[in-house]
Amino acid sequence: MPPLVGATLDIDDVNLANSLLRNDKDWFKADIVKEYEAAFIKWNGSKYAFAFMGGRVALSACIYALGLNPGDEVILPGYTCVVVPNAFHFAGINTIYSDIELDTYGLDVSLVEGKITPKTKAVFIQHLYGLVCRDYEKIVALAKKYGLFVIEDCAQSAGAIFKDYKIGNLGDVAIYSTEHSKVITTVQGGFAVTNKEEFALRLKEHYDYAAYPDKRIVYNLLYNVIVDYLVQKDPLRWLKAEMFLFLNRDKIFDPITKEESCGVKPAHYGCKMPACIASIGLNQLKKIDYYNERRRCTAKMWDKWCDDNMYKKPLVLADSVPIFLRYPVLVEPEKKQNTSWAIKELGVKLGSWFISNIHPVNWKVAGCPNADKAVKQCVNFPCLMKGYNDQENH
Ligand SMILES: *Cc1c(COP(=O)(O)O)cnc(C)c1O
């Protein structure tokens, strides 16, 4: 079974990547990046967006934009990816973990207030698996009451709607990811978004100082568009994928580097997006609503599976439209430890976000029993896969 990446890549993306690989003349031409940002702004209903080389880099830009200082504290869920606390730690900010609820795996608002100290400056809201987090409005209201900034993490939920807006528009700043396991993909990439001019000016300042990744890295990312398609969707992938991966092992994209797993800032960290990667992003953005609709259709099938098998379905908040990047379910711990049952019984490969409180590393997080439970029991079903919906013909 191939890894669950690049699910929104089609042959047109591969052709585009191939033509970009053949012609590197305009790889760093800024206009297309502006076009990509403008398209995202329009689609997301936000005022400002800046394209960086990853959601984590966008988060670092947001930390700068908000003017957070060393010694400040941020409250974030004790159920997250290591690159999130890393971005705070790189800026000298102390991460204070608070427990999640198990309806949508977001921060539990009733516990957040108890974590606020005079040093607290921001609350970090995560919308996971394509869901809108349960206590969204209440956390924003609580933050307002205490004069705290709200940073929204929409890395897994781009396009999810709450009331009349896409998520990411209620807080002060928001981050999005187009890493290869996310809603759409540029293999690596992301956005920092805001509706407030003061933060936009600071984001722009940060953006203007940021470097582009070097040509070798850009080449590898374009190449990985082709790799991901071949492994995931090529009609002959069963024959080709393993050999191809083996032959190209030195080029395969690594989402979390060894340094990052140790909390160390990588040398190339902090880059903005070059034009050729933005070209892929623009092409992907055209399909985002199509693929999110397919995901919602597949989620109905997983709803039925949950009902039939007496598992609790994830909560879809009233007045929200989720996008179901993945479909999360709490199963017995043995069923998370060994997920081969899903391949046998259902023909799908399960995802395991998150395998530890600070995925995928083993940093200790105290006092988050719900997060601990999710680590042991939350698996996620894919919502875009061959056989269940006919993405190949898109
Ligand atoms: C993927 C992810 C990130 C980081 O995004 P990158 O583009 O990989 O840097 C942050 N938060 C969450 C919840 C994610 O899933």
Q: pLDDT for 14-57, tens place per residue?
A: 999 999 999 999 999 989 999 999 999 999 999 999 999 999 99
Higher local confidence (pLDDT), 75 or 247: 75
pLDDT value, residue 239: 85
> What is the distance between the alpha carbons of residues 93 and 70, in angstroms, rounded to a whole number?
5
Q: Which residues of 2-35 are buried (b: 16+ CB within 10 A; e: fewer)?
A: bebbbbbbbeebbebbeebbeeeeebeeeebbee
Among 59, 62, 81, the mutation site with the greatest number of ligand 1 atoms within 8 A of its Cβ is 81
Higher local confidence (pLDDT), 83 or 253: 83
Rounded to two decimals, the pTM is 0.96
Residue 151 contacts residue 67 (beta carbons within 8 Å): no
In the predicted structure, residue 391 carries a pLDDT above the cut 80: no
Confidence of residue 4 (pLDDT cuts 50, 70, 90): confident
Confidence of residue 3 (pLDDT cuts 50, 70, 90): low
Residue 186 contacts residue 151 (beta carbons within 8 Å): no
Among the residue ranges 58-72, 296-310, 375-389, the one predicted with the least confidence is 375-389
**Quick check: CB of 51 below 6 Å from ligand 1?**
no
> What is the distance between the alpha carbons of residues 188 and 166, in angstroms, rounded to a whole number?
22
pLDDT value, residue 386: 64
Instruction: Using alpha carbons only, give the angle 82, 303, 105 rounded to the nearest 5 degrees.
Output: 25
**Quick check: CB of 190 below 6 Å from ligand 1?**
yes
Give the distance (Å) from ligand 1 centre to CA of residue 345: 30
In the predicted structure, residue 265 carries a pLDDT above the cut 90: yes
Give the distance (Å) from ligand 1 centre to CA of residue 346: 28
pLDDT value, residue 67: 98
> What is the distance between the alpha carbons of residues 324 and 296, in angstroms, rounded to a whole number?
6
Q: Is 224 helix (H, G, I), strand (E, B) or coil?
A: helix
DSSP-assigned beta bridge partners for residue 98? 77
The CA-to-CA distance between both ends of the chain, in Å, stands at 22
Q: Residue 379 — φ and ψ, nearest 5°?
A: -115, 165
The stretch 358-380 carries a mean pLDDT of 97
> What is the distance between the alpha carbons of residues 100 and 65, in angstroms, rounded to a whole number?
27
The stretch 155-182 carries a mean pLDDT of 97
**Quick check: CB of 126 below 6 Å from ligand 1?**
yes
pLDDT value, residue 254: 87
